[in-house]
Structure 1
């Protein structure tokens, strides 16, 4: 498989597809590959990007400022706009043309990126799906329609549209240090995102006849021109997201007069668009410690039944952001509260329809506040004045605003999976303010740099919300099923987003899991947290690359992690560490030679080559255990008891983990290899006569080098854990042994007891006599009570007490 995989990488490289290769200088050896430095893979340091991972003395980036006016025609479902763009060339290069993104063209049947995938005849298909399979003969009318592009004096500028990209040719080179002003007039037909898909568009509510608009990727916007790749003008296929340029935005949106708008930045004319009562509530919300309804449920319901035919213009200002998005609807309830973050008061707000009231009124804005505060503690202080969550039946992120899901059933109840899904998506999308809205990586090229890093901090934030929250990202054991897939179904994390088969595990959960393994198992929280914060601080409002991240994590921690980046990010080998055999001995102290050992196994155990069947552990992942033991941590649900609902009480019946018996040990030192025979003294005999000696032999069956975590259970029931660093494999990447001197007899040994290393086969992780599984009472639940975690049908809230 390795030979086939190497050939595949070569083929992809020569055809221009971007996939990082795990280059090795000594591929035929059993050592020297896994721990080889990444010098042959990472870009050469230069004056823009240093060898330490920090921006260099001559680092530069471009800037684009926007002044936009637009009008939303709700009846025609059309958006018309004009923009004035001021583009600053801060690079050392003269530019003869500039590139803009026309993301709305993805909805057009001719101007989309046309990245097709293999398709087969379905057994069941919607009419929309069948329409997609038809060969297009006429333009469907979607996509950006450019009316004109002119310079500052009104002279037409030539331009060329290539699918989702547009090149504007300049009459003269834009030299370093210069800036230019140009104007674009455009319009597009707004798509129904519930049937056509995509990140922006409208949702229609037939029950009340109203719309909810999420306006994203809605204006022609500058591509990034950078020191490491020039123009980032890769086509938008609908998956790989966006590389964008920072700037200031002044945006005027004319919408129906009864609409409420949430958008990037701050509205600077609330006095003109809100009622006096709403304006007073808005000002109250700024400093309130609990969410205040700025637009109430009753006000939203009244607007739904009596639509206005007039219009109002909302004006927003956003500074030093990479993008601008907004949402508009007469259905919106709007609430907000203040959240202090290191001297800055952040106004946290939520917008949602009555369909989500039962969940969003209780949770959304509190989750926004919790996320902003928690992410700030792991990175840098949130720099913007607002942070907003909009319920729009989807998940997507933009500066200061994001779109999420989480609606109740008509009776106001909800399933636990709906609630947990809402908590996760709000934390995730609000967290994207940090990655990549501020630490502005190239999402289209390296999806893991925003989705993976953000999923990791999302995991930390979920864990600090509630110690019992069922996080789906971060804990190593959650990644096992993906890691054990056949290698021809996998690709390295360091793969272009368009070429990934299983996008979710590759871009989100495997990177998040890897970072958590670094934090909890390899580096430790103190070293990791310092280095991760240093990376975020160095690249705040800048454009980092993977090499900048890898180098900074090593530079700030003093840890050589190239082996980990090579295995986890550039490779596809899984972790499968096998405890092959155990030698057991007592010291022979009768003769005049040093101690000799009789080999054997613990009494009552099976032979080493027939390990006992695995038993599912009854404890939680290592992060939950350590968070609970850390007395400085107070979980949000304990600080604010108003967020405790039916399911909070429902979950408290779960057995708590008693981790007091599980303590890391200081690794025993191997006995010195004294080659000069000397007789034992009485003191030696007294010291070693009652010792127990064990040699553990391990093999690396998966190929991925990882630390070896060994838990000893003694015959008296006590336990000890030894953590062997991954570097133990450096001289032999396939087989290693470890010798132990113990004060007590060992009854059983378990590798990776907390499931920290993503080991794909636990059947070879045991030796000795394992405890018998305990019994518990089993009963048959009535069908009417429903199942936990369901999102449709009867849910436990509906039949339980204390809604």
Structure 2
């Protein structure tokens, strides 16, 4: 054994010396790319090493009862909130943290201080607008006053005594009010139409921060880019609005008899049973006072169970239509669209309910059944924003743009409304995952009506490989705003498509992805939980992929170094040498064209790069080769496609 080892070692040295003049300038480091130590923590009772929730997994709970009133004259929202907070953690809690997102719109907020003067979607477009919550009468269920401290977009509320671990609860009440910003960071706001204002109301009540086994209290301030991380619970909401308004919300309407006219109530019920869109309130009726009950104000009562947020919209300008959503189990939900006359016609919002229905039915069948009783799409001055069972989309969107934003925002019901990841820190776990499933949905919708086949999928490679691009696993607050689209949406979605289509295979990946959704439905996964689930379900060690694509901003550059014939005779086959020039490793697909025009392909696994920066392999052919191409389908993110072709022009 020793003798043979010495001979082998000498042979390796000789080969290395003899080929030294042919080495290229590669920055690839295979020991770094394939470092076996990727995870920084072992599995725990709370989070299994297999990616599943552990046998002792826990999360706290917040149940909300809210009565709220909308004043159209002052754009004021005011309400009374009762929260039942349950501590399922193993820790006694001395205080509770809340999110006060409307405080972003105070002139002295951290968010306003960090929002660029131009070309930012975050903030308020109103000059001199000074918003934020007004809080009063914070008290516990026994009537005692609560001591609290507001710090920017957070509030720390002291408990009169420790809330004991293991399922103990406390109830408290808060009165609150705020002025709705006209443009609220592209997440909430007011759209003026010819028939009245459309209010899209979100982030409108004090919300309990998450206490988890990762960071304890998650209290990152809301500055605009990072979205939300919230506890699950049940919502009972009563919304008092002018009687000429229609109020739609992400929840089951409990009193339709009291808020619809008798004719509209009949249409509403027909819509809930119809496969085709049914008009509930037409464009003509919008300007007809008889289309609303003859009262000054009405209260709309809604409930939503096992959700982590609640949003709503109100307007006297709404056209409303609806249709039935079919779930695989046989249960149904109601798709509704609410939009102004300006958005009606010309392949625009009159198709919104069709899009909503198709999108949700696809995701329910493909991934996990839709859990909510309704799905509401609202036309607004919010370009696209999601909340459980309700979406706000741009009122001017049409055709493929309206399909795209509708499909994207309702896809968010799976990420992060069902799979409740921390959007404030890991935007890619909701935006990227959602963008990935949107691509599959669009391919299927109406036989590909809006599906665009990319002739060159790796055309995005230069954008993904920019040296000034932050890693995907940066928080949205830690990215340049111009990079958020790439890093939170497109690059992670592209990476998942690579895993699915090129590295793992569609059937195996889809099964693993479904398992991830099922394991973490209504729970709080971390990036490691996702990585571990995919690895354990597929049986693949993907640390090289997570490390290069998500944790670092590594680039890919595969290149053909040389093409030779064995013993200088094409009949003996061709020897091809390829190099990995940049830090990212990937499988290699090679296509050769012979003198007679025959095309042959060979796929090499990523493992060829486990201990090499270059690789030689043989193509069995008896003819001369006229062309050799790496990545003939242009699906890998290669930053330099020119060195992928032999002979080079």
- TM-score normalised per structure 1: 0.73
Instruction: Write out per-residue CA displacement over residues 158-202 of structure 1, whole angstroms, 9 at most, x where no aligned residue.
Output: 000000001110010000121000000010011111xx6441121
**What secondary structure is seen at the aligned counterpart in 1 of 2:160?**
strand
Show the counterpart of 1:493: 472
Show the counterpart of 1:356: 343
Q: Distance in 2 between matches of 1:118 and 1:370?
A: 38
Alpha-carbon distance change, 694 to 547 in structure 1, aligned in 2, over 3 angstroms: same
Deviation at 1:568, TM superposition (A): 0.5
Q: 2:437 aligns with which of 457, 477, 500?
A: 457
Show the counterpart of 1:422: 402
Alpha-carbon distance change, 692 to 275 in structure 1, aligned in 2, over 3 angstroms: farther
Show the counterpart of 2:146: 157
Q: Which runs of 5+ in 1 are unaligned?
A: 1-26, 123-127, 133-139, 409-417, 586-596, 600-689, 771-803
Equivalent runs, 1:334-733 vs 2, <5 Å = 334-343=320-329, 344-358=331-345, 359-393=347-381, 394-407=383-396, 418-465=398-445, 466-467=447-448, 469-470=450-451, 476-485=457-466, 487=467, 489-501=468-480, 502-585=483-566, 597-598=567-568, 691-732=571-612
Q: Larger deviation: 107-116 or 552-561?
A: 107-116
Show the counterpart of 2:22: none
**What secondary structure is seen at the aligned counterpart in 1 of 2:357?**
helix
Show the counterpart of 2:88: 90
Q: 1:330 aligns with which of 287, 298, 316?
A: 316
Deviation at 1:406, TM superposition (A): 4.8
Deviation at 1:750, TM superposition (A): 1.2
Q: Distance in 2 between matches of 1:426 and 1:242?
A: 20
Alpha-carbon distance change, 467 to 28 in structure 1, aligned in 2, over 3 angstroms: closer
Show the counterpart of 2:132: 143
Deviation at 1:743, TM superposition (A): 4.6
Matched, 1:765 2:644: yes
The aligned length equals: 613
Query: Conserved in 1, the CA contact under 8 Å of 2:558 and 2:579?
Result: yes
Q: Which has the larger radius of gyration?
A: 1
Alpha-carbon distance change, 463 to 115 in structure 1, aligned in 2, over 3 angstroms: farther
Deviation at 1:323, TM superposition (A): 0.2
Q: 1:77 aligns with which of 75, 78, 101?
A: 75
Alpha-carbon distance change, 29 to 709 in structure 1, aligned in 2, over 3 angstroms: closer
Q: Distance in 2 between matches of 1:692 and 1:470?
A: 45
Deviation at 1:722, TM superposition (A): 1.9
**What secondary structure is seen at the aligned counterpart in 2 of 1:436?**
helix
Alpha-carbon distance change, 305 to 180 in structure 1, aligned in 2, over 3 angstroms: closer
Deviation at 1:719, TM superposition (A): 2.2
Q: Distance in 2 between matches of 1:316 and 1:204?
A: 26
Deviation at 1:471, TM superposition (A): 5.2
**What secondary structure is seen at the aligned counterpart in 2 of 1:514?**
helix
Deviation at 1:517, TM superposition (A): 0.3
Deviation at 1:769, TM superposition (A): 8.9
Q: 1:63 aligns with which of 61, 64, 76?
A: 61
Alpha-carbon distance change, 743 to 347 in structure 1, aligned in 2, over 3 angstroms: farther
Give the alignment's Cα RMSD to 1 decimal.
2.5
Show the counterpart of 2:210: 224
Instruction: Write out per-residue CA displacement over residues 385-426 of structure 1, whole angstroms, 9 at most, x where no aligned residue.
Output: 211211113200000001112527xxxxxxxxx422211111
**What secondary structure is seen at the aligned counterpart in 2 of 1:331?**
coil
Query: Conserved in 1, the CA contact under 8 Å of 2:260 and 2:293?
Result: no
Instruction: Write out per-residue CA displacement over residues 454-491 of structure 1, whole angstroms, 9 at most, x where no aligned residue.
Output: 11001111111243635599984252231232x2x111
Which is strand-richer, 1 or 2? Answer: 2
Q: Distance in 2 between matches of 1:762 and 1:304?
A: 65
